[in-house]
Structure 1
């Protein structure tokens, strides 16, 4: 036991010393290692400061590159929107019209120059809307195309309404419907029929029939006030006609809202593939075109172009009566024929282009869909806006204009009822438009002569 104790007692401290020794050696080694690595640590601290300097320099460089990128992006956007289309050569005519108005006051030249100056703006509005539609999807994109496609006519109408030129408002909106249904659709049918001469182009009959029904409803809304006025059967002369117009306008706006809801639901169901979904997706991806400008650039350009159209429309509206007198052209012809052709320039080109690509459903959506929006939204909206402004804007478009619209709607409804088109139908529609244009050239509107700013109605 003693030997065991003697043997074991030194063992424990020896083992302990060994452990302590090993720890001391480890500490010494670590200390020596630290002394050896200390220059590197110093260099690391130096590198940290230099890293901060490099980071600061790189941040400044990246900020400079970002500014350069933004500058290049703005320049590219201007090149694409302003300088890519050949029709934009007419853009300087807008500022020239303002300059002529300030210097000479020649209403004929101001009207002519501002009319030509608005054409490229209307076309670029359509382009910016198409670019924005690439980011919003087909359903919202279709609504945007319809809305901004008619923004030029609505802006001109609001300025004319503000100036008290109620007949100009009525006739320009009527002319927009006639232009879309006869001239735009006729040119689309004719050009598509020439390109696809050997076959008959087809389109969706259901959509065309719904649009035709809405247009007939719009004719009903315009017909009753005109007949009521012409037959002198008003309960309160001068008041019943206006009250009926405002009530009918509210009903037409409700009908148009229901139409939009129906179209959205219908288009949403159409985009769900039933059979051969993969093939439809592949074909759709091939047809889709990549946007040329970004979404925010599209929104900014829409705002700029809309503001410039609004500014130029004021000069155009103020020069209408003077231009009619100096050029010896009836105000009715200017309002029904000339103004809508300018406002529908972008839609006209788009409808023809899609028809030549055998996409007649889109052409019909541009032509008849735009007419439906003007008839069921544009006209009632102007009546309500006049109500707010204190202007007696009503739905009495006079019998001559209302009869023209009624016959036009009937002709187009018969043309699209079978869901097919050819060049002969297109030629017939264009010839019908020439007859309408000639009729308004020899038509004297007695109310337009005395169409001065009225006193606000209370």
Structure 2
């Protein structure tokens, strides 16, 4: 038993150094792996840090630098400097217009990016809403300063610009690009929008007729009361329209099958967002604030610009301001028409006109009511007649559900007639001479 026990002890003694060396090797291996993991962690942290900074830089490049129209952005700060240094309203107005133009276009871009995450129907509504944000901001500033005629004329001009100039340019360019075929769109949706526009004309027409026929029960009061009542009705109608569009009859606003088939292959490649959801929201907030700041200087310079440029305030309000405010709609409508997506084009142009006439104008009346301003729907006889004829012309253009470059050319020429009419129009209520 003794030798056996000694042998066992020897074996156990011999195994101890072997186990110690293995343990040492394992410890060294563990230390190496730990240091290797630490290096990976440092690299990951460095990469995450770079990515955290690269993402905002890429977003800034995409939104503020990539587009060529952003070359006009410096005119905004320059307008503010001119306002405080020189006080020349003509230059302040001109530079403010140039400065707001890229902001309006970029707001449209950010809205389109946000639409990728919300779906086509809600995206179209967002596009129309933020596309009209510039006009609404300018209107609120003008209303706050008591410039009711500027509010009325700028909103009227936005409707005319969308229906004649924007839609006309879209039809014309789309017809030129696709001259070998007749472009088609969803006629049912166009008819619904035409009906809403005619309802808006009705709401605007009756206060003007009541005023100019001198048939008010209480002179100066019945007209305002009717305007406020009609505005509330129009807001209810627009809310019903949104429910009809988003919930009740969604299929009515789907693109027609033929257009969907033609663009099925391209849709996957084209519809790729360039910025994230929260980046789009952030940029919309920043751009809205900047537009609000510039709008204040723009509104303050309107009267001075009219005097220095020898240009009627009516022409500035109806023609120049809406062209700037509709920059986003103009670019989007033409782009979609060239891609043979006329349903989206109509949603941008006619949908925007519908929203202004059925929501923005009544909303301004209600806001003026709470602000103690006498904002009403009496747009005066000349402006109301212009709107009525424009809605009729566009409704006839849309009734067959087709588009070509000749229709677009006619709409553009109609807009030139309207522009010339307001250039020679004397707005007595605004003090033009």
Q: 2:173 aligns with which of 170, 182, 191?
A: 191
Question: Cα deviations across residues 48-77 of structure 1 (Å, max 9, x unaligned)?
Answer: 667666655544443332221121122211
Deviates more, 1:375-384 or 1:353-362: 353-362
Q: 2:208 aligns with which of 187, 202, 226?
A: 226
Q: Taking structure 1 as reference, are residues 218 and 101 closer, same or farther at Cα in structure 2, changes over 3 Å only?
A: same
Contact 2:208 2:378 in 1 (8 A): yes
Shift of 1:449: 2.5
Q: Taking structure 1 as reference, are residues 114 and 28 closer, same or farther at Cα in structure 2, changes over 3 Å only?
A: farther
3-state DSSP of counterpart to 2:216: coil
Contact 2:93 2:298 in 1 (8 A): yes
Shift of 1:135: 1.7
Deviates more, 1:304-313 or 1:186-195: 186-195
Does residue 78 (structure 1) correspond to residue 60 (structure 2)? The answer is yes
- Larger Rg belongs to: 1
Shift of 1:266: 6.2
Contact 2:189 2:253 in 1 (8 A): no
Does residue 380 (structure 1) correspond to residue 362 (structure 2)? The answer is yes
Does residue 138 (structure 1) correspond to residue 120 (structure 2)? The answer is yes
Shift of 1:388: 1.9
C-alpha distance in 2 between matches for 1:401 and 1:281: 40
Question: Cα deviations across residues 364-396 of structure 1 (Å, max 9, x unaligned)?
Answer: 111111100000011011111111222111111
C-alpha distance in 2 between matches for 1:437 and 1:100: 29
Does residue 211 (structure 1) correspond to residue 201 (structure 2)? The answer is no
Q: Taking structure 1 as reference, are residues 352 and 275 closer, same or farther at Cα in structure 2, changes over 3 Å only?
A: closer
Q: Taking structure 1 as reference, are residues 48 and 281 closer, same or farther at Cα in structure 2, changes over 3 Å only?
A: farther
3-state DSSP of counterpart to 1:258: helix
Contact 2:183 2:402 in 1 (8 A): yes
Shift of 1:232: 2.1
With the length of structure 2 as denominator, give the TM-score of the two structures: 0.91
Question: Cα deviations across residues 18-66 of structure 1 (Å, max 9, x unaligned)?
Answer: xxx9xxx8x9989986764344435545666676666555444433322
Q: 1:429 aligns with which of 402, 405, 411?
A: 411
Contact 1:273 1:280 in 2 (8 A): no
Structure 1 unaligned residues grouped into runs of 5+: 1-20, 451-458
Question: Cα deviations across residues 130-149 of structure 1 (Å, max 9, x unaligned)?
Answer: 11111222122111111111
Contact 1:139 1:267 in 2 (8 A): no
3-state DSSP of counterpart to 1:397: coil
Q: Number of residue pairs matched?
A: 428
Does residue 91 (structure 1) correspond to residue 78 (structure 2)? The answer is no
Q: Give the aligned CA root-mean-square deviation in angstroms.
A: 2.9
Does residue 362 (structure 1) correspond to residue 334 (structure 2)? The answer is no
Q: 1:417 aligns with which of 393, 396, 399?
A: 399
Q: 2:381 aligns with which of 373, 377, 399?
A: 399
Contact 1:183 1:430 in 2 (8 A): yes
Contact 2:175 2:404 in 1 (8 A): yes
C-alpha distance in 1 between matches for 2:308 and 2:299: 15
Partner of 2:308: 326
